[in-house]
């Protein structure tokens, strides 16, 4: 439609944005040229050159001017380079800032080492920092459990900072040690704690 500058495509559609290196696939895609907005209906998939794939059940909305991609409905984000998989119902990905935010209940798998369950999490891909101001539970592959009221996780050095931390450590002979810190730092690699009000 030349008056509204709306292009509508239906049936196994693939949209390729060569400048932003983004590919969007869906059964129904709309492109509003005057606003540089792309949105889909139904099951959709988006890929970018950084080996990130996002699948969504309801829709995508992508703004080419701001590089903001929104996805809703059983969303899965698979970051193959950083070895991070995110499952949530709603996600925003600000590509030019490499900032990924989830809305609502979220499950994140980090490098097959950690399973993180929480709400409203933010991942800064360039800094490799994951954080949330909401309650979260982190389980490592040794079945140690870290429950926090809020946290800030430096992924590469595996340093976890948090408030109101409950730790259940899985010790030898299936015995469990329990710790509580008002605030603290945990070196997950070395399994060492530094905390206040223990």
> What's the pLDDT at 48?
83
Using DSSP, state whether 49 is helix, strand or coil.
coil
> What's the pLDDT at 173?
64
Q: Please give the Cα distance from 61 to 69 (Å, whole number).
A: 6
Q: Which residues contact 10 (CB under 8 A, 6 or more apart)?
A: 27, 28, 29
Q: In this structure, which long-range contacts are made by residues 164-172, counting pairs with CB atoms below 8 Å and at least 24 apart in sequence?
A: 165/195, 167/193, 168/144, 169/144, 170/142, 170/143, 170/144
> What's the pLDDT at 37?
94
Task: Say if residues 195 and 184 touch (Cβ distance below 8 Å).
Answer: yes
In the beta sheet, which residues pair with residue 60?
Answer: 71
Q: Residue 56 — left, alpha, or beta (φ > 0 → left; ψ -120 to 50 → alpha)?
A: beta
CB atoms within 10 A of CB 7: 13
Q: Please give the Cα distance from 56 to 38 (Å, whole number).
A: 15
Task: For the chain, 198 residues long, give each residue's pLDDT as a single digit of tens.
Answer: 988 899 999 999 999 888 888 899 999 999 999 999 999 999 999 998 768 999 999 999 999 899 899 999 999 999 998 999 999 999 999 988 999 999 999 999 999 899 999 999 999 999 999 999 999 999 998 888 999 999 999 999 999 999 999 988 876 666 778 889 888 888 888 878 887 777
> What's the pLDDT at 172?
65
């Amino acid at each position: 439609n030349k008056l509204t500058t709306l292009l509508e495509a239906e049936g196994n559609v693939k949209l390729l944005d060569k400048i932003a290196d983004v590919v969007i696939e869906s059964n129904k895609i709309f492109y509003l040229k005057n606003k540089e907005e792309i949105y889909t209906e139904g099951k959709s998939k988006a890929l970018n050159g950084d080996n990130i794939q996002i699948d969504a059940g309801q829709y995508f909305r992508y703004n080419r001017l701001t590089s903001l991609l929104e996805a809703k409905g059983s969303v899965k984000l698979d970051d193959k380079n950083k070895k991070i998989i995110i499952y949530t119902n709603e996600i925003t990905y600000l590509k030019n800032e490499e900032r990924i935010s989830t809305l609502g209940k979220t499950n994140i798998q980090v490098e097959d080492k950690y399973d993180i369950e929480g709400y409203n999490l933010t991942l800064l891909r360039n800094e490799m920092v994951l954080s949330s101001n909401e309650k979260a539970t982190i389980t490592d592959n040794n079945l140690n459990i870290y429950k926090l009221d809020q946290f800030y996780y430096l992924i590469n050095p595996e340093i976890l900072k948090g408030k109101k931390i409950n730790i259940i450590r899985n010790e030898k002979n299936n015995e469990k040690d329990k710790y509580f810190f008002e605030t603290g730092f945990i070196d997950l690699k070395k399994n060492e704690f530094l905390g206040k009000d223990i």
